[in-house]
Structure 1
Amino acid sequence: MHQRETDVPPAGRVDAATEAFVTHRNLLFTVAYEMLGSAADAEDALQDTWLRWADVDLDTVRDRRAYLVRMATRQALVRLRTLGRRKESYVGPWLPEPLLTAPDVAEDVELADSVSMAMLLVLETLAPTERAVFVLREVFGLDYEEIADALGKSRAAVRQITHRARTHVAARRPRTEVSAAETGAALEAFRAAAETGDLQGLLDVLAPDVVFLGDGGGLAQAALEPIVGAGQVAELAAGLSRFGVASLRPVRVNGCPALVLRLDGRVDTVLAARVDDGLITGLYAVRNPEKLSRMDTEMVLCR
């Protein structure tokens, strides 16, 4: 069956759709990534968004940016529920996929905080709809009407969900605002102590109730349960010295200071941290090779 000529969109309309999508692509990726914690799933959500966007009558769209954000949100929400089922059978702790980020991400303090590994782990504790509402409202500043339209909820319901999500996150995020310099200093002290196997140096920078999470995904060796307590985490970190952690180098991951361990030239581990009152309260080691493929290319995130 031959396609009728009227079924083919005019070239100008295709170009306009493409231009709008490309213009806002980094924003759409950031929205999807914050909702999913997975760059691979965020890319899939964007692909689904594009396929739907290409069929939209642009003459009916008043605000293309807002329309695209709503579409990307819906696609990410579908994937978030699927991702939740996948995590149930994941081997060991699940950590967000780390991204090597451009310097300008760190300059936007609110954005850097919202995509930090620590915050993404807090967002993991929200229900899918709560996470979507929190991200759209608190990070991207959408009004209640826009969020209600995106999620098929009433404005009143969105307000209630926002309050619930905000309270939930506030109870779990770092107690005080932590600067990038403070996080970087704590990680540098950790790196220096780990490099020499200095147990006392590690204990000095680790909070007594520090939690270490390792994500190997069944594809790389990692602890299958959280390791809790400064003593146990310090012993684990001191053992890194046998790998020659001079190759443990500072980088910017998800807009925040982090460390990358390379073995034989390849990225073996990305180590991010949560810092409270100058001490490391959380260490997050991503070793699953499927989550490290983007660590050689800077990603552009934006609001």
Structure 2
Amino acid sequence: MKIQWYPGHMAKAKRKMKEDLPLVDAIIEVIDSRCPNSSRNPEIDILAKDKARIMLFNKADLADPARTKSFMESFRKQGFYTMEMDARSRSSVKGVSKLVMESCAELLERKKQKGILSQSIKAMVLGIPNVGKSTFINAYVGKATAKTGNKPGVTKGAQWIKIGKDLQLLDTPGITWPKFEREIVGLNLALIGSINDEILPIEELIFYLLKYLTRYYGSALVSRYGETLQGKEDALEAMDAIAVKRACIKKGGDIDYTKVSRLILDDFRSGRLGRISLEHPMKWEEDSQMEV
């Protein structure tokens, strides 16, 4: 099942982002902790290769903490400055300013040696749709500066936001990229809500999710939906058992697969299934081969 989503306004936003990159010293990228690989726009690595890089693992409260820790360590080894957070909490984002300044320490030292006394830093905030970028900015600033929403495409244009005397943020619209090279990327982005739900084949999507959950998080299914899920390794059997448990049955006794799929998707996105990550830091290649 191949999922692609790249509306026309994103191409325009990408062009504007490229125009603005020379204006900034650092890139703050907000990603979803549940799928750090999938929720990163790979084009940013090419466009911003000479910038200080900060990676904010948002929605860490919904993700598997052990996996998040492992991913963060991996990104640090690649030269990123990382921090986990829940962007809905202002206290959770307090350390971002310090992290930005640490990432730009060499730049500030070079300025000082040239006699430039200003310690001001300009940073561009990037993120694909619905990873919580605008929510983070509002918590960081302390007021509703950026528009937020629980669907992709809320932020439409770039805007500068001043943080104290030494930091300016450039908020940008969330953009994906024209083609997902791996099928798993489209699936994961669909599951976290970064792709418009209206275009998704929801039953196939949840079938994939259940294959993944029965492999890695079977206990979460049992905890949420009862002992009838114990030992279930087949995704279709698991879906049928959940449908019966939650009365997702049509007149005549047939399973209402659309209804049960929406129920499971809502349980996953809300965290009612527990702290689940869609990617394993050591099994990216293996999971990429999982058939849908």
TM-score, normalized by the shorter chain, greater than 0.5: no
Given the two structures, how large is their TM-score scaled by the length of structure 1?
0.27
- After TM superposition, the score normalised by the length of structure 2 is 0.28
